[in-house]
């Protein structure tokens, strides 16, 4: 067996970075060389490969490269999230946007909301809880929430719906009592909340899968596009524009902005939050 060479190398980092970028749109700057290769090293161990170059060739040419890329995404797309993060936006959506959309609707189709890049599910579950809290479902409002992430592991966790205490750092105690069931050292989401959700694993840059999604009234993509370079960001925003119905809304994270970036959306001020409204068809 050949000697293993796990020396961190800028050239091989760039090669692996490019494969990841082409697949996901996520771009790792040079500052992340050691962090990325440290995570990649786990996959070398799994496949008993001798070098980062061997792993690069595996990603490029092995018959199982597609599944390996999906597995790699589980390692490198770890995003911290928790229930009711940036809650004012969610309240604006439930208290202002959804009623406005229903008032304008001329057909019986449900209001569809897409939580894009939803990680392990805390965001869409938080939204569903607020919808139940406001009694929108009892007022004749038909709603569907779709939620996706590129990580298979995160998507599976969201489907299971069980979370540790760190996920509830800003959650009101009454929400825990009303919408969760204690399960050992975790809390499990109740079925009435889960019924509003449809979780699926998808890459936001996957054109083929996007064509199978229905048109949406609202898209939340919060704290996701900060990981994209300008080209990938532009591509994703353009796809969101196409996926939204006329006068649909897009919500980004507090640190994300479309200012001086695109004319596909215009800034929209809500009572205690900001969002974007679709421009044109």
pLDDT digits (tens, 9 = 90+) for 241-250: 999 999 899 9
Q: Residues 133-154: pLDDT tens digits?
A: 998 877 777 899 999 999 999 9
Does 179 share its domain with 255?
A: yes
Number of residues that make up the chain:
281
What mean pLDDT is predicted for residues 179-193? 97
Does 34 share its domain with 166?
A: no
More confident residue, 243 or 7: 243
Residues 6+ apart with CB under 8 A from 201: 70, 148, 149, 150, 151, 152, 155
For the chain, the domain total comes to 2
Does 107 share its domain with 234?
A: yes
Residue 267: how many CB atoms within 10 A of its CB?
Answer: 11
**192, part of any domain:** yes
Does 98 share its domain with 150?
A: yes
User: Quick one: CA dihedral 196, 200, 206, 207, positive or negative?
Assistant: negative
Does 44 share its domain with 67?
A: yes
Percent of residues, the chain, with pLDDT higher than 70: 98
Domain end position, chosen among 20, 51, 76:
76
What are 186's strand-pairing partners?
Answer: 183
Does 27 share its domain with 162?
A: no
In whole angstroms, what is the distance from residue 56 CA to residue 96 CA?
49
58 phi and psi angles, rounded to 5 deg = -60, -45
Give me the pLDDT at residue 1, please: 44
Give me the pLDDT at residue 69, please: 95
- Identify the domain containing residue 140 by its residue range: 87-278
What mean pLDDT is predicted for residues 48-66? 95
Does 47 share its domain with 122?
A: no
Confidence of residue 105 (pLDDT cuts 50, 70, 90): confident
**2, part of any domain:** no
**3, part of any domain:** no
In whole angstroms, what is the distance from residue 55 CA to residue 62 CA?
10
Q: Residues 196-241: pLDDT tens digits?
A: 999 999 999 988 888 889 999 999 999 999 999 999 999 999 999 9
Residue 21: how many CB atoms within 10 A of its CB?
Answer: 17
Does 43 share its domain with 97?
A: no
Give me the pLDDT at residue 273, please: 96
Closest CA to 265 of 5, 274, 158, 65: 274
């Amino acid at each position: 067996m050949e000697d293993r060479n796990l020396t961190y190398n800028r050239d091989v980092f760039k090669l692996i970075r490019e494969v990841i970028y082409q697949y996901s749109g996520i771009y790792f700057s040079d500052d992340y060389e050691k962090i990325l290769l440290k995570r990649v090293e786990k996959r070398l161990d799994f496949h008993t490969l001798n070098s980062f170059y061997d792993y690069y060739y595996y990603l490029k040419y092995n018959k199982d490269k597609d599944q390996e890329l999906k597995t790699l995404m589980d390692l490198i797309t770890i995003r911290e999230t928790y229930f009711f993060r940036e809650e004012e936006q969610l309240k604006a959506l439930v208290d202002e946007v959804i009623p406005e959309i229903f008032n304008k609707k001329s057909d019986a189709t449900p209001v569809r909301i897409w939580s894009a890049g939803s990680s392990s599910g805390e965001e869409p579950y938080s939204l569903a809880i607020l919808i139940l809290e406001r009694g929108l479902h009892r007022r004749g409002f038909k709603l569907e929430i779709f939620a996706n992430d590129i990580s298979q592991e995160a998507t599976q966790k969201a489907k299971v719906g069980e979370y540790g205490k760190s996920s509830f750092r800003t959650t009101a105690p009454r929400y825990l009592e009303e919408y969760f069931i204690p399960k050992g050292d975790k809390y499990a989401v109740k079925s009435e909340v889960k019924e509003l959700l449809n979780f699926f694993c998808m890459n936001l840059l996957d054109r083929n899968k996007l064509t199978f999604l229905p048109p949406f009234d609202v898209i939340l993509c919060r704290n996701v596009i900060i990981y994209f370079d300008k080209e990938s960001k532009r591509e994703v925003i353009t796809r969101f524009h196409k996926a939204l119905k006329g006068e649909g809304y897009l919500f980004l994270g507090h640190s994300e902005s479309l200012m001086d970036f695109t004319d596909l959306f215009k800034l929209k001020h809500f009572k205690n939050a900001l969002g974007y409204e679709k421009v044109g068809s």
